[in-house]
């Protein structure tokens, strides 16, 4: 089911909104100006490359201050107890703008690997990718892109996938064409005290078990924080994610993601409308609390099921429904800006919400549910619980999309979802990583 929302009866309203809303924001902001750093000599660059090539277990790779222009990937391959340490994220810069072959700037495979105190710029693919790693730490690492059209930038800045015990602490990720901080198909994950800006998605937790995302700032992205479960991946449904004490601010950046292919599920993040704070998609066992969700022009928090994508939903050991979601004690502030209509999901929210055409929504629920679990949404079969003290003053929309695009309905009635949920996570294995 795919909602082509440019219906004739809504064209005038949408056209009027487009005139009022104008362009989505964009930014080329950088954490600091790396051009002011002294350039490392060819010999100094070669020494860094040699340290990676020759590294054995229990090696500390020290990279001094300077701007290092690299023409090759830096790879740690199946090594244990490795530390990669720069002189500081504003002091040591690894630039991969001249890298012609390979995707990632830095790739890490092994156990008990730590990378810290440096910046990575302009990798042709991902900035740092860790795969099949256990006990992996990213601390005080900045990953960014500084050149060209943003849609030509790399996909992920910080990218652990199929890992166990992941700590991302005091990091900065900007200008990736998918997610700045992306953790996929992993278990026991902490993302804390970090900053993500200028990306399509700031922070994304995808198909992960036991994840905590707290103390972060996600600002000026198209979408601030995403929790997704996608079909057809080696690790199916992820569960138990807590998102708390974050600042999710004015994520109104243009969505510059490009489809990987014309095939279904080519790139789900392309559907995210600019102005999205927190988005759940087929998410399971999620608790969201204590967050500042401010000035995201389309929606502060969206609870969505995979149906909304229009992509195929047949996959083993996976469910397209969001379920067991507990939202409480967050602080919402709407913006004066008009919501986004560049994406179909944004059109749904902007035109068909229960508050009025062109009004930003604080919380929306797309209203799909597993009909094997209940006959009506009012019985709350998916266990969506919302306990917000200012709920009566919020813009809330519950959609009814079962009859397709010709008969979309919405309601302000949040009463079926006033309940107390309970989510447990266990990331004790990584909270003491040094």
Q: Compute the distance between CA of residue 25 and CA of residue 20 in angstroms, rounded to an integer.
A: 14
pLDDT at 100: 81
pLDDT at 5: 47
Q: Which of 270, 5, 41 is nearest to 279 (CA)?
A: 270
Q: Which of 66, 65, 78, 70 is nearest to 50 (CA)?
A: 70
Q: Which of 134, 82, 93 is nearest to 117 (CA)?
A: 93
pLDDT at 432: 63
Q: Compute the distance between CA of residue 294 and CA of residue 2 in angstroms, rounded to an integer.
A: 29
**Could you tell me the two tokens for 312?**
């195929």
The tens-digit pLDDT sequence of the chain (434 residues) is: 454 444 434 544 554 555 455 567 889 999 999 999 999 999 999 999 999 999 999 999 999 999 999 999 999 999 999 999 999 999 999 999 999 877 899 999 999 999 999 999 999 999 999 999 999 999 999 999 998 779 899 999 999 999 999 999 999 999 999 999 999 999 999 999 999 999 999 999 999 999 999 999 999 999 999 999 999 999 989 999 999 999 999 999 999 998 765 554 557 999 999 999 999 999 999 999 999 999 999 999 999 999 999 888 889 999 999 999 999 999 999 998 899 998 999 999 999 999 999 999 999 999 999 999 999 999 999 999 999 999 999 999 999 999 888 899 999 999 999 999 989 999 988 866 65
Beta-carbon count within 10 A of 306 CB: 25
pTM for the model = 0.95
**Could you tell me the two tokens for 151?**
């849609």
pLDDT at 24: 79
Beta-carbon count within 10 A of 88 CB: 14
pLDDT at 433: 63
Q: Checking DSSP bridges between strand 384-387 and strand 323-328, what pairing results, if any? A: parallel
Helix, strand, or coil (residue 240): coil
pLDDT at 23: 65
* Contact present, 359 and 17 (Cβ < 8 Å): no
pLDDT at 434: 54
């Amino acid at each position: 089911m795919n909602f082509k929302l440019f219906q004739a009866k809504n064209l005038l309203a949408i056209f009027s909104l487009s005139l009022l809303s104008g362009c989505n924001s964009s930014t080329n902001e950088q954490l600091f100006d790396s051009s002011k750093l002294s350039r490392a000599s060819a010999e100094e660059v070669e020494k860094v490359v040699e340290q990676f090539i020759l590294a054995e277990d229990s090696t500390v790779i020290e990279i001094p201050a300077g701007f290092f222009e690299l023409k090759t990937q830096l790879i740690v391959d199946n090594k244990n107890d490795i530390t990669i340490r720069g002189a500081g994220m504003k002091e040591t810069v690894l630039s991969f703008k001249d890298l012609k072959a390979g995707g990632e700037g830095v790739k890490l495979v092994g156990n008990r690997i730590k990378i810290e105190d440096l910046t990575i710029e302009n990798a042709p693919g991902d900035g740092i990718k860790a795969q099949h790693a256990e006990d992996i730490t990213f601390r005080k690492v900045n990953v960014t892109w500084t050149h060209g059209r943003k849609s030509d930038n790399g996909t992920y800045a910080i990218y652990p996938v199929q890992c166990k015990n992941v700590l991302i602490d005091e990091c900065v990720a900007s200008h990736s064409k998918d997610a700045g901080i992306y953790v996929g198909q992993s278990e026991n994950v902490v993302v804390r005290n970090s900053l993500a800006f200028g990306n399509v998605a700031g922070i994304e937790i995808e198909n992960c078990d036991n994840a905590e995302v707290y103390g972060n700032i996600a600002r000026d992205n198209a979408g601030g924080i995403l929790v997704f479960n996608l079909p057809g991946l080696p690790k199916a449904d992820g569960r138990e994610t807590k998102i708390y004490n974050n600042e999710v601010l004015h994520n109104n950046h243009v969505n510059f993601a490009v489809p990987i292919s014309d095939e279904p599920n080519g790139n789900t993040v392309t559907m995210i409308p600019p102005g999205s704070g927190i988005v759940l998609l087929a998410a399971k066992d999620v608790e969201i609390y204590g967050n500042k969700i401010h000035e995201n022009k389309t929606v502060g928090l969206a609870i969505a099921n995979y149906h909304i994508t229009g992509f195929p939903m047949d996959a083993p050991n996976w469910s397209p429904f969001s379920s067991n979601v507990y939202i409480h004690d967050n602080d919402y502030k709407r913006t004066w800006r008009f919501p986004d209509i560049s994406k179909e999901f944004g059109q749904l929210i902007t035109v068909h919400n229960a508050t009025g055409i062109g009004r930003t929504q604080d919380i929306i629920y797309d209203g799909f549910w597993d009909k094997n679990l209940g006959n009506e949404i009012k019985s709350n079969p998916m266990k969506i619980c919302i306990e917000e003290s200012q709920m009566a003053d919020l813009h809330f929309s519950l959609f009814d999309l079962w009859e397709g695009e010709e008969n979309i309905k919405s309601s302000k009635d949040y009463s079926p979802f006033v309940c107390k949920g309970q989510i447990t996570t266990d990331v004790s294995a990584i909270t003491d990583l040094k």
